[in-house]
A and B are shown apart, each in its own frame.
Chain A
Amino acid sequence: MRVVSLRRLVVAVLTVVLVLTATFAAVHLTPGDPVRLFLGPSADEATVAATRRAAGLDRPLPTQYADWLVRFAEGEWGTSIAQQRPVSRILGDALGPTFALVGLSLLLTYLAGILVGAVQASRGGSALDTALTAATTFLFALPSYVVALGLILVFAYAAALWGWPAWLRFPAFGAASVGADFLPPAARLGDAVRHLVLPITTLALVGAAGTARFVRGAVLEALRQPFVRAARAKGLGEARVLLRHALRNALVPVLTLLGLQLPALFSGVVFVETIFGWPGMGRVTVQAVLARDYPVVMASTAVFAVLVVAGNLVADLLTSLADPRTESGR
């Protein structure tokens, strides 16, 4: 098992190197000059040359490429042009809020998705199944920014307009209220949780819809397998057959799905953080793009990819723990 894990690690590192190469190529081999785009059309030649030299962009491409790989590995990601702060510190500050968003919404996504999918499969073909299929299909087609705006409309604006109770109204912007730093710890935590509700619900609704569709199919497939017939023949109750035999076997492909869902989740994070003003990686990236702040954009794209690769490794590990056959099967 250890040998196989090492092989996966090598593949993961190679993937990161390829991603870094793609990021580098995107910046340096496309038409358009980052320095001129950043300085604007009115910049004179001397300023352009000076900025280019300061950013190290006047060196030969292979040197720049090697330098980019080495510096990324060392965590020396340069200085933000727009903020004049180290890129590593900007992204470091943004990682925590993004992890909170991604971690909690993944948890909710899987809890809700597996529950709904399993209920649907156990009542396959019923009116409930049909209704839930229609609902998850529609939700899955909704872009996260549409879900986010809808939730804001209802739980921030309409809730205030219609005088809903305070616990049903949620803040639509930022990670903390103004002056939250002066609150006692418990109230501060409550404030932070309230700010998390709408962004996490957005990501979890879309994610859970996709997961439920997948789980429904996987459980229905498992229910057709001979071992389920054997379990029923033993006289086990239907609940036990569903939970211990069908669902458990259906969860192996669901773990694989985790690796596939991560890129989509991080894409959703970009929109959700921008709309809710959440101080995470996605918002930092969008702001850097709008400011033409290349060091930040390059590093954050690469960090996003590293997070996905790491998530894939975890998903692989969980899969092999849940189903030892996947090791020898490869």
Chain B
Amino acid sequence: MSGVRPGILARVGWDRRARIGGALIAVFVLGAILGPLVLGRAPVELADVVARRFMAPLAHTSDGAFHLLGTDRFGRDVLARLLLGARISLAVGCLAALVSTLAGIAVGALAGYAGGAVDRAIIAATDAALAIPRVPFLLLLVALVEPGAAMTVVALGVTGWMTVARLVRSEVRAARSRPFVEAARALGLRPRRVLVRHVLPNALTPALVAAALGVGSAIMLEAGLSFLGLGVQPPTPSWGNMIASGRDALMIAPWVALSPALAVALVVLGFSLLADALESAIAAESVAS
């Protein structure tokens, strides 16, 4: 018994929500990897600004360049920037979710396995952290250092571990008293080995749902911070600062802001569909067994 049970993976594979969500994520990941390779950097750099700015989607320029999603105020191709921005936004979102999930697993495992006063103190701290609205606290953290991609990962990581910690804690507490764990302890294994090798692998499945949701919300928040001018800084494109720069031109060139906005929405939707499917699969599997 270790890791995610195969039954759960099979159920997720058959779930329509997981297929749609996975397809959405795959489209953006592939686009992020291949897009800049295919389109090159040229469309992102400044060219003849006056002639090329705010061209509508599907426009051809006089020299034959084609702009599927139009151009922004500097005549840069929106699609090329969107895909370059996808690299930043997806990387920041995934890294931040990874940081917060790992932190949550560590904190939750410690609380659940130690029990007693340690457990109560950690749970109190976790509940207190849950009471802090995330965005105002993120703003506080961002205000203390120069904004940028690395800072955004750290700030999102340290503000997002609580849900995972609570889930892992209750799973660890449940797994702790199961026979195979007692057997491992009776064999004389050291506590850390019992925790890492025997308890944790059986306690991580619910954390998967929280991790999937965590990637979505980290991408959403990264874009939000960058939208406020407190995350990834221009000219590096991220979906958030693209929305912000298109906001002033919302009336004359709505595609500049709407393209990255839709990208954020679709990726977040992809991750939340995946999380929904995982959750149902876990519930169905626990009923079946």
Contact call B251/A285, Cβ cutoff below 8 A: no
Kindly state the interface size class of chain B when it binds its partner. 35 or more
| B contacts, CB < 8 Å to A | 124-125, 127-137, 139-146, 216, 220, 223-224, 227-230, 243, 247, 250-251, 254, 257-258, 261-262, 264-265, 268-269, 272-273, 276
The docked-state distance in angstroms from the alpha carbon of A157 to that of B257 is 14
Interface size on A, residues (CB 8 A): 54
Q: Known interface pairs A26-B141, A308-B131. Does A270 touch B250 (Cβ–Cβ under 8 Å)?
A: no
Contact call A19/B131, Cβ cutoff below 8 A: yes
Contact call B133/A290, Cβ cutoff below 8 A: no
- Among A62-70, A135-143, A181-189, the stretch that binds chain B is A135-143
Residues of B within 8 A of A201 (CB): none
Contact call A270/B135, Cβ cutoff below 8 A: yes
The docked-state distance in angstroms from the alpha carbon of A161 to that of B252 is 11
A255 touches B (CB below 8 Å): no
How far is the CB of A208 from the nearest CB of chain B, in Å? 16
Contact call B265/A292, Cβ cutoff below 8 A: no
10 inter-chain pairs at a CB distance below 8 angstroms, sorted by A residue, are A143-B223, A143-B268, A149-B257, A161-B251, A270-B133, A271-B224, A288-B143, A301-B136, A304-B136, A309-B131
The docked-state distance in angstroms from the alpha carbon of A79 to that of B141 is 20
The docked-state distance in angstroms from the alpha carbon of A145 to that of B135 is 13
Residues of B within 8 A of A161 (CB): 251
Chain B interface mostly:
helix
Chain A interface mostly:
helix
| A contacts, CB < 8 Å to B | 11, 14-15, 18-19, 22-23, 26-27, 30-32, 34, 37, 137-138, 140-143, 145-146, 149-150, 152-153, 157, 161, 262-264, 266-268, 270-271, 274, 282, 285-286, 288-290, 292, 294, 297-298, 300-301, 304-305, 308-309, 312
The docked-state distance in angstroms from the alpha carbon of A274 to that of B264 is 19
Contact call A263/B268, Cβ cutoff below 8 A: no
The docked-state distance in angstroms from the alpha carbon of A298 to that of B137 is 9
Residues of A within 8 A of B257 (CB): 149
